[in-house]
Amino acid sequence: MHHDADEYEECIATLIRAAGQNRAKRLGISYFGWIGAMNSARVGLPGAEAAAGRFLPIFRRDQKSLGISDDALCTTVPGDCTVRLAQLRQAETARR
């Protein structure tokens, strides 16, 4: 992701497609994809914010269908959950 947001986005999308109907696996892949894209957007990689925007509705749909809270999901990937959850709220507000 650090060099090419389009290639990263396509790689994650391919993994999501390969997961098929396995919602838990799709959730993990799309959530990780969103986190990686948001991190690259933070440092100004062109196209990273758009990539993050693509993965947000995918992981939210699967998260909702599986009944997983934001707090529980956040702990699945190391990092600062306070910051990540704030970024999530901000990204969702921006999409409206």
Task: Give me the residue label for tokens 């990092």.
Answer: 79
Structural domain harbouring 88: 5-95
Separation of alpha carbons 44 and 2, rounded Å: 10
Q: How many domains does the chain have?
A: 1
Model pLDDT, residue 95: 77
Give, in degrees to the nearest 5, the angle at Cα 5 between 92 and 76. 55
Cα 82 from chain centroid (whole Å): 16
Amino acid occupying residue 19 = A
pLDDT tens-place string over residues 44-77: 888 999 999 999 999 999 999 999 999 999 999 9
Its pTM stands at 0.91
Confidence class of residue 81 from pLDDT cuts 50, 70 and 90? very high
